[in-house]
């Protein structure tokens, strides 16, 4: 079945602006696999049958207040939205679906955990994102034989050997569950689906139809791209492509573009350790500085960062994660103007050797990530900067020239410099070793020519002229 298409520049959603302005979100993988504490793919990796996996169902019971604590921590981290796994590949539902008995309300928890999480996030003023797996290892109509990831892929009682298995019935089932999620919890800002593979792509999922139904219920909602493999790159773009590209455990080397060269909204999705769900043996924590710099990297390329932060089976966030998120939040409380609502710098501002730029309107933000010896070069910004401040405390930053212009002028004639104190030729420790952010108010007009003439007068000689602008 063919699907409608849209041009490479036509927007699917009218509400993507909030998501792009937010720039930073948290996600949570939470389910029966959390009890095993060996990752969310434990049933597939260990080829567990349904009876063996049932032991986790019979003991799943997050403590009261788990969602409130996670949502509070999300706000303290500086995140603006969150994404919860309402159903992962194992087919277990955290919500009270009328279409299955394999759900949280039938475990010892006896509660709708999606309801608890949505209410907690909403109370903190954060955007609501719900994750739903297109794959379902519990449903009898979802394939097993030939599917290299299904837990029963080599089992003689594989569902795919059952002549009564009906793919259309499964599609109706998961469409119904997505509509439940979009009907029963008020405003939902974001729907994240996962994942497409082999010939299970696009209209195999009934992707256009279900997106149309969801938008009728939640017209402002934002979709990710995983209804097919890289559908947003195609020109013309299929209608089911979603609103943004989602990269996993990877930050692209530059902003993403479709096959026609048009920019695409995108989001990098990362884990705080090396695991997507709670793992009792994974203690390889990324540092606050690493996450801060990854966030800056994304925003400097017009992207978002979605950071996955796990709880244990009781719903408790490990202490190391709490400390890391609170430090990220402290940095964002001081430097958030360079992140929220900001994006890639204009093309004229090339990436500097000491860090990265982000930009918001007529303010250029320099993220100084590397210690520089002496004053710090701003390539090509002569005549462009009228004021410079550390945004963390509004302290003045000194805009300066060559420290000995009559003797040495190794840099370009359109370059200027800055430093944190005088004499400007000296080397001063960065005020924030994680990322020191300097805001530059840019002039409306380029005045490089007069600035170059002033420099020539100081040097007593003519400099080679470069094109202006």
Q: Which residues pair with 378 in a beta bridge?
A: 416
Q: What is the pLDDT along the chain (469 residues), one digit of tens a residue?
A: 333 333 233 333 457 999 999 999 999 999 999 999 999 999 999 999 999 999 999 999 999 999 999 999 999 999 999 999 999 999 999 999 999 999 999 999 999 999 999 999 999 999 999 999 999 999 999 988 778 899 998 887 676 556 678 999 999 999 999 999 999 999 999 999 999 999 899 999 999 999 999 999 999 999 999 999 999 999 999 999 999 999 999 999 999 999 999 999 999 999 999 999 999 999 999 999 999 999 999 999 999 999 999 999 999 999 999 999 999 999 999 999 999 999 999 999 999 999 999 999 999 999 999 999 999 999 999 999 999 999 999 999 999 988 777 777 667 888 999 999 999 999 999 999 999 999 999 998 665 555 556 555 555 555 544 433 3
**According to the model, what pLDDT value does residue 13 have?**
47
In this prediction, residue 100 carries a pLDDT of 98
Rounded to whole angstroms, the Cα distance separating 164 from 217 reads: 33
| Residue 347: both structure tokens together | 């093309």
**pTM to 2 decimal places:** 0.92
**Angle, helix 207-217 to helix 167-183, in steps of 10 degrees:** 20
pLDDT for res 459: 52
List beta partners, residue 129.
83, 190
* pLDDT at residue 404 in the model: 76
- Two tokens, residue 85: 């796994």
Looking only at the bridges linking them, the beta strands covering 416-419 and 398-400 are: antiparallel
Q: Which domains does the chain possess? A: 5-338 (3.20.20.80), 355-459 (2.60.40.1180)
Contact 435, 369 (CB under 8 A): yes
| Eight-state DSSP code of residue 304 | E
From residue 103, give the alpha-carbon distance in Å to each of 30, 42, 56, 60, 99: 13, 18, 12, 10, 10
């Amino acid at each position: 079945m063919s699907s409608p298409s849209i041009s490479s520049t036509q927007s699917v959603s009218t509400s993507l602006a909030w998501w792009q302005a937010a720039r930073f979100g948290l996600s949570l993988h939470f389910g029966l696999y959390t009890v095993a504490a060996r990752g969310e793919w434990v049933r597939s990796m260990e080829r567990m049958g349904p009876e063996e996996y049932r032991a986790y169902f019979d003991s799943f019971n997050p403590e009261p207040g788990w969602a409130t604590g996670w949502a509070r921590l999300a706000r303290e981290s500086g995140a603006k939205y969150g994404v919860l796994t309402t159903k992962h590949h194992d087919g277990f539902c955290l919500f009270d679906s009328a279409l299955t008995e394999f759900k949280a309300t039938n475990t010892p928890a006896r509660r709708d955990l999606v309801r608890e999480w949505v209410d907690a996030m909403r109370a903190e003023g954060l955007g609501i994102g719900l994750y739903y797996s297109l794959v379902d290892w519990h449903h009898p109509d979802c394939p097993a034989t030939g599917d290299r990831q299904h837990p029963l892929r080599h089992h003689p009682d594989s569902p795919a050997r059952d002549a009564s298995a009906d793919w259309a019935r499964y599609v109706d089932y998961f469409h119904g569950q997505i509509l439940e999620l979009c009907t029963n919890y008020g405003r939902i800002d974001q729907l994240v689906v996962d994942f497409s593979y082999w010939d299970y792509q696009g209209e195999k999922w009934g992707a256009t139809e279900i997106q149309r139904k969801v938008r009728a219920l939640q017209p402002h909602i934002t979709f990710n791209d995983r209804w097919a493999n890289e559908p947003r790159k195609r020109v013309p773009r299929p209608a089911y492509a979603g609103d943004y590209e989602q990269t996993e455990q990877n930050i692209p080397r530059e902003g993403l573009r479709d096959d026609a060269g048009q920019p695409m909204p995108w989001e990098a999705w990362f884990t705080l350790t090396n695991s997507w769900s709670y793992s009792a043996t994974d203690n390889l924590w990324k540092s606050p500085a690493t996450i801060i710099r990854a966030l800056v990297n994304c925003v400097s390329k017009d992207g978002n960062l979605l950071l996955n932060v796990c709880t244990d089976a009781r719903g408790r966030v490990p202490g190391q994660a709490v400390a890391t998120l609170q430090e990220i939040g402290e940095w964002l409380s001081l430097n958030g103007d360079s992140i929220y609502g900001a994006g890639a710098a204009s093309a004229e501002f090339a990436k500097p050797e000491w860090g990265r730029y982000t930009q918001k309107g007529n303010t250029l933000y320099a993220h100084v990530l590397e210690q520089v010896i002496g004053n710090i070069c701003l390539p090509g910004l002569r005549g462009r900067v009228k004021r410079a401040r550390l945004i963390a405390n509004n302290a003045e930053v000194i805009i300066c020239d060559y420290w000995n212009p009559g003797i040495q002028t190794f840099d370009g004639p359109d370059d200027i410099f800055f430093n944190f104190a005088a004499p400007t030729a000296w080397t001063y420790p960065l005020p924030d070793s994680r990322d020191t952010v300097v805001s530059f108010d840019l002039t409306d007009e380029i005045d490089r020519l007069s600035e170059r003439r002033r420099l020539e007068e100081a040097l007593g000689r003519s400099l080679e002229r470069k094109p202006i602008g």
